[in-house]
Every structure is written in structure tokens, then in C-alpha cells.
Amino acid sequence: MSTGRSLAEVIAADGPLAPRDAARVGAQVLAALVRGHREGLVHGAVEPARVQLEGGRAVLAEFANGPYDGDPEYLAPERTAGRAPGPETDLWSLGATLFTAVEGRPPFPGRRPGPAERPPEPRRAGTLAPVIASLLRPDPGQRPGAEWTGHMLDRVAAGLTVGPATAEALPARETVAVAAPAGPPTGPPAPRAAGARRRPGVWVAALVLALAVLGGVVFLLVGRGGTHHQAGTASPSVPPSATGPPSGVQPPSTEPSAPQTTPATPTTTPTTPSPTTPPPATESPSPAAPSTPAPSTPAPSTPAQTPGAEVPPGYVRTTDPAGFSFAAPIGWTRTDNGMGAGDYSPDNRGHILRFTVVPNPAGQAPLDGFLQIERSLTQQGGYSRIDLRTNTYQGNPGASWEFTFGSAHLGAQSFLAPNGTEYTVYLSTPESDWAAYQPVLATALNTFTIP
């Protein structure tokens, strides 16, 4: 790349950038945006002409509050509708700048996009394409934050893959608060096509991808986001008062741990505390940890043998639209995760309780599913198994799993219901928070019921 010129000049003179070079430029522009956003500043005019390439560095020019007179081709769709600019509009403009960097033209040449208009698919973006697609989502509430974006740009710049279907990795950010007891299930989960066969490769690829992000962890669904459902009556958020498993709960019967294999990670898509607030673009402190110490036994190995245990203080029994119910920490919010159920979180970041509901008509052992996920993520790196074994959960064949992935600590319990449906409950937290948040998983497992 040449230096001493704007990105626009480089593209005009030398042609589009390679995806890795564009990712390096994008990461540096993003860093400048994050610094500004932390100071309450919005750039409002991110575009190639304002990105100077100097001595191998990308410098974002003219960062200050004031008139937003950027090129219409790089203005976010919500600006067309008269919405005030914010961090999420800067991120859309960054996406448009990256599109131009690899394609040699903006996504909407000569005009500004409509409020709901989607961009064309880039043809030269390679592994950068999922990042561009996510940033250019017309709904600002569905765009990723700066943490996810920065991590993905770093991966592309390093020549690493970003995983399959990452362009669909972020379900919509609308959420509902968990606050009041929900009514009993109205019926079983929506019926699935009769005779559908489980395809392990597709199931594994669609289930999970975990990405370590800037000292925390964000879990992104690899698959398609779904619609959003009411999980409870809205009320002010209340920090969870998590407790350990109810007294007298016996651990499930277990079998020896399966042979060590390779990395894997359940995924989670963060949720926000409000249906209208876009995801934060910068890091924030961890939410208040549950107030009681974690039990000494790992949650995945201690699920209750009898469903519907008593709901402890600080929790509320919640019925997910998929039909199952469990005790959720009061104040946690739900987002549909596209895997038949919801994600519940207090902070829209690395503390996530995820449920998945997938068909398993062939009766594949839950342990085999976990092992497949491990093998499918061998190349991700950063994985360390703590425990992986078969067990019996509420009288059903199951498997428990606990591991670390980068800076994340995760626990999971999966089981196969008599109707051929496989349910899995995951908890993911930063490693430093696992002991404090592990009771959330223990409580979910001790109170989990299915239709």
C-alpha cells in the first residue's frame, strides 16, 4: 500500500485492496472510532477520502462533533430517515468504507441508501465479506458492536478464517426483560417436518462458534437469526441473586470421561437491556456478579433428577416460546437465537445462558454431538477441556461438558428427550467470572422442565 495518500486516492490509483490489507486499515479506523465514542464523539463522515494512509498507518481525519456533511454514499440508512448519528452509524460507514476498499466502488454508488435497503454482496471481499455484511445491516440494532468487529478484523488481517455463515451470525438485538412469572406452556414446540433426518455436519456447523474478544467473550450463532418472543412481563432490571442447587439434589449417574479430542464452543448472541437501544460499541465493566458463592461441583455434572425444582430467590420461572421453562435470574433479557430457543443475558456481552432445541430423530448420543463440535473447531485454537462425559439427566440420556476457550469459561448439559428432540443448556462467562455465575447454570438445570 502506498502512503501519504487517502484511501480513496489509493483505490483510484492502484485499484482495490486485498481483503487482509483492507482489514488492517479497518481495524485502525475502528480503533480511532472507539476512542472517539468513549469521549462521546461521533464522527458522522467515515469514508475513504477521510482515511489517510501514512507510514503504514491508517489515520481517520476530521474527528470532531459538528456538521455531518459526509458523502451520501457513506451515510447509514437511518440517516436517510432523519435519525441522529451515533456509534452504530459510524460502524455502518466503516462497513461501506471496507466495501469500497475491496470492491473499488461504494455499495450504493452516487446515492444514499434507503432506510431498509440492503447492500449488494461484495465479490472480492473473501473472508472479510461476513464482517462487511454485518456492519451494513440496515437496522442499526442488528449491527455488531466494536468489540466483535475489531476481533473479526484482526482475524482477517492475520489470515485466519472467520467461520461459516458469519454474515448471519448476529440475530436481531431486540430483547424482552425476564421479570414476572410466565404462564404454563401452551403446547409442545412447533412441529418439525416428519421424517427429517439429522445431518451431523450441518448441525455442528450451525450450532456454535465462539470468538474471544478483547478480554471478554462474545458468542455468536452460526446460523440464521430468528424472531423475538416475549419471555415475561417487562419490569426494571434487577441483578440476579443466584444460589446453588437446592439441597438434597443428587448428581446424575456418570460414565468415564470421553477421550480428549479437539476444540469447540457453544455460542451465544448477546442481548440488550432494552428493545430499542443499539448494542454498545465499546467495552463495559462486567455486570454485578451473583451475590452468593458458587457450589463446588461443576454445574454440568449436577443437574437435577426431578424437573421443576423450587425457584430460588432472585430468580423467576420463565417459559421460553419453545415450550420449556426454567428459573431465570430476574432482570436478564431474552433474544431469539435461531436455534429453536433463546439466549438470556444481563449485559449484552460475555455472560450468556443459551438454550438450543434441535431435532435428533436418529437418536444420536448427546456426547457424540459434543465430540463432533470439538472436532469441527480444531483449527480455532485456545480450547481446553475440563470435563466431558455421558450422564443421565432427568431420566434421559445426556452429556455434560465444561471447558475454557480463550478467555471464556463454558459449561453445558445436553439431553435427548423421548420425542427425539435434543435440548442443550449452555452458560458462558469470562474465565474470571465463572465461579460467581456458575450458579445460574446450576439453577437453570435444577428447574428445567419440558412440555
* pLDDT at 217 > cutoff 90: no
Cell numbers representing residue 440 in the block: 445460574
324-370 tens-digit pLDDT? 999 999 999 998 776 678 889 998 667 899 998 888 878 889 998 88
Higher pLDDT, 233 or 440: 440
Task: Give the highest mean pLDDT range of 62-66, 76-80, 213-217, 262-266.
Answer: 76-80
Q: Is CATH 3.40.50.20 correct for 178-447? A: no
> Concatenated DSSP letters for 273-288?
SSSSPPPPSS--PPPP
| pLDDT at 150 (0 to 100) | 86
Among residues 74, 320, 48, the alpha carbon closest in space to that of 187 is found at 320
Strand partners, 408: 405, 430
| pLDDT at 148 (0 to 100) | 81
Class of domain 5-162: mainly alpha
* pLDDT at 396 > cutoff 90: yes
> Concatenated DSSP letters for 156-213?
HHTT----TTGGG-------EE--SPPPPP-SSSPP--TTPPP-HHHHHHHH-EEEEE
CA atoms within 13 A on the CB side of 215: 5
Cβ burial, residue 185 (10 Å; 0-12/13-18/19+)? middle
User: How many CB atoms neighbour CB 68 within 10 A?
Assistant: 14
Residues carrying CATH 1.10.510.10, the chain: 5-162
74-102 tens-digit pLDDT? 888 887 777 777 889 999 999 999 999 99
Chain centre distance of CA 115: 25
Do 335 and 175 form a contact (C-beta atoms < 8 A)? Answer: yes
Among residues 242, 214, 203, the alpha carbon closest in space to that of 344 is found at 242
| pLDDT at 414 (0 to 100) | 95
Work out the pLDDT band at 110, boundaries 50, 70, 90: confident
Cβ burial, residue 295 (10 Å; 0-12/13-18/19+)? middle
Any idea which of 299-313, 401-415, 432-446 has the lowest mean pLDDT? Answer: 299-313
Chain centre distance of CA 20: 24
| pLDDT at 349 (0 to 100) | 66
* pLDDT at 175 > cutoff 70: no
Among residues 333, 340, 357, the alpha carbon closest in space to that of 415 is found at 357
Residues carrying CATH 3.40.1000.10, the chain: 178-447
